[in-house]
Amino acid sequence: MSFSRLSAALAATALLLMPALSSRAEAQDHSLTASYAVTVAGLRIGTGWLSVAFRGDGYAATVRAQTTSVGRLVSAGQGEATARGRLRSTRPVPVSYDLSASEEDKTNVVEMQLSGGNITRVTAEPPLTPHPHRVAVERQHRRGIVDPVSALLIPVPNAEAANGPAACNRALPIFDGRQRYDIELTFVRMDRHPLGQGGQAVVCRARYVPIAGHRSSRRVNQELSRNQDLFVWLAQVGDRPLVAPVRMEVGLNFGRVIIDARSFEYR
């Protein structure tokens, strides 16, 4: 399995395989730093790091990850993605998103500028290849969106709501530079997680809903959109009305993909 295909599967849980954030040196009020272990069928195949700098309602996030080659299952790859914007009451409003990823002899570069949640400029290399089954990206698909990194930061109405259904029960309207899709989150239960507030995390079922830019006939898209075995564990970020992932699980035909936080620290 290619690094990019595995990344697409993980995006369905609202975390990319591009996550390992190391924020640039800059003035900040608080920061979140996290590290993640990535396993497939119990086999460790990668590591991710997340780091977000907060200043007022502004955020600057960087995500990096690395995978190792595992036979034909996963190819070696690495990537970094960054996003900047402001946190509003219901979702982040990004102003920029950049991605640089590589696997073997392939590269993937995206640059995106936004205003008010609407894309003003986007470039992606390589671009989408024409295909009769590809759903066209129209103007409306580039409006009212969040990027994949900003989607990891989920505002809630107040700090108390961070540990209940309000942390889930929403659709994340994501555009990654090529494709537009929703990640629908619904509350399942509260569960134990050692890095959650008070050892607790909110478990959401995640559903991948492709909207545009994808090939409707492609099997991986069909399988992901039908997959009911996608879950994300969300933990409160410090005392803020904000949650972020501490664990993701995806059941796929070749095994279970688990991304689990080994550290999750807010300062």
Characterise 169 by phi-psi region: left (phi > 0), alpha (psi -120 to 50), beta (else). Answer: left
> Regarding predicted confidence, which is higher, 42 or 139?
139
On the question of pLDDT at 75 being above 80, the answer is no
Two structure tokens written together for 198: 């008070």
pLDDT average, residue stretch 13-28: 40
pLDDT-derived band at 100, boundaries 50, 70, 90: very high
Phi and psi dihedrals of 219, rounded to 5? -60, -40
Greatest mean pLDDT among 19-23, 25-29, 146-150 lies in 146-150
Least reliable range by pLDDT among 60-74, 152-166, 186-200, 228-242: 60-74
Considering the entire predicted model, what is its pTM?
0.88
pLDDT average, residue stretch 223-246: 95
Looking at the 3D structure of the chain, how many domains does it have? 1
On the question of pLDDT at 6 being above 70, the answer is no
What is the domain range of residue 133? 3-266
Provide the pLDDT for residue 138.
96
Separation of alpha carbons 78 and 48, rounded Å: 10
CB 171 within 8 A of CB 101: no
Provide the pLDDT for residue 71.
61
CB 114 within 8 A of CB 189: no
Least reliable range by pLDDT among 19-28, 128-137, 217-226: 19-28
Separation of alpha carbons 18 and 32, rounded Å: 17
Two structure tokens written together for 261: 């936080």
Cβ neighbours around 198 below 10 Å, total: 9
Provide the pLDDT for residue 9.
43
pLDDT average, residue stretch 152-163: 96
Give alpha helix (H) positions in 31-102.
Answer: none
Question: What are the tens digits of pLDDT across the range 29-66?
Answer: 899 999 999 999 888 999 999 999 999 999 999 999 99
Provide the pLDDT for residue 28.
66
